[in-house]
Amino acid sequence: MKIPPVKGTRDFYPPQMAVHNFINDGWKRASIRNGFEEYDGPIFEYLKMYQIKSGDEIVDQLFNFKDRGDRHLAIRPEITPTLARMVNQQINALSKPIKWFSVPRLCRAERPQKGRLREFYQWNIDIIGIDDVLADAEIIFTTIDYLRQLGLKPADVKAKISSRKLLAALLCNIGIPEEKLDSLYPLLDKKAKLPADTFEELLKENVCDGAKVKTILDLMSVDSVEKISDIINLNQEAQAALDEIKHLFDLLAVMDIGEYCVFDMSIVRGLAYYTGVVFEVHDMVGDLRAIAGGGRYDNLLRDFGGPAISATGMGMGDCVLEILLRQRGLLKDGQLQTRKVEFFVAYVNDELLKNVLEITARLRQADISTSFSYKAQNLKKQLKQAAALNAEKCIILGDELEQGQIVIKDMSTGEQSCVDMGEFFKNL
pTM equals: 0.91
3-class SS string, 189-236 = HCHHHCCHHHHHHHHHHHCCCHHHHHHHHHHHCCCCHHHHHHHCCCCH
How far apart (Å, rounded) are the C-alpha atoms in residues 110 and 405?
A: 63
Does one domain contain both 142 and 251? yes
Inside any domain, residue 239:
yes
Inside any domain, residue 383:
yes
What total of structural domains would you count in the chain? 2
Dihedral in degrees, nearest 10, Cα atoms 101, 107, 110, 112: 90
Inside any domain, residue 305:
yes
Q: What is the pLDDT of residues 366-393, one digit of tens each?
A: 999 999 999 889 999 999 999 999 999 9
**What pLDDT, on a 0 to 100 scale, did the predictor assign at position 154?**
96
Does one domain contain both 245 and 377? no
Q: Is 254 exposed, middle or buried (0-12, 13-18, 19+ CB in 10 A)?
A: exposed
CB 320 within 8 A of CB 290: yes
Residue among 51, 70, 72, 71 nearest 61 (CA): 51
**What pLDDT, on a 0 to 100 scale, did the predictor assign at position 192?**
81
Does one domain contain both 318 and 348? no
Give the domain CATH number at 356. 3.40.50.800
Helices (H), ranges, 366-410? 379-388
Does one domain contain both 198 and 308? yes
**What pLDDT, on a 0 to 100 scale, did the predictor assign at position 263?**
95
CB 146 within 8 A of CB 26: yes
Does one domain contain both 235 and 284? yes
How many CB atoms lie under 10 A from the CB of residue 3?
5
Give the domain CATH number at 320. 3.30.930.10
CB 10 within 8 A of CB 47: no
Under DSSP, the state recorded for 392 is S
Chosen domain end from 295, 327, 359: 327
Phi first, then psi: what are they for 135, rounded to 5°? Answer: -65, -40
Chosen domain end from 327, 362, 396: 327
Q: What is the pLDDT of residues 196-213, one digit of tens each?
A: 888 888 888 888 888 888
Inside any domain, residue 166:
yes
**What pLDDT, on a 0 to 100 scale, did the predictor assign at position 428?**
84
Inside any domain, residue 122:
yes
Inside any domain, residue 66:
no
How far apart (Å, rounded) are the C-alpha atoms in residues 4 and 11?
A: 10
User: Beta strand pairing status for 157-163 and 277-283?
Assistant: antiparallel
Chosen domain end from 327, 362, 380: 327
Q: Show the domain range for 391.
A: 343-426
How many CB atoms lie under 10 A from the CB of residue 250?
13
Does one domain contain both 192 and 229? yes
Instruction: Return the CA Rg of the chain.
Output: 28
Q: What is the pLDDT of residues 148-162, one digit of tens each?
A: 999 999 999 999 999
Does one domain contain both 288 and 196? yes
Residues of the chain with pLDDT under 70: 270
Inside any domain, residue 133:
yes
Element (H, E) at 311: strand 311-317
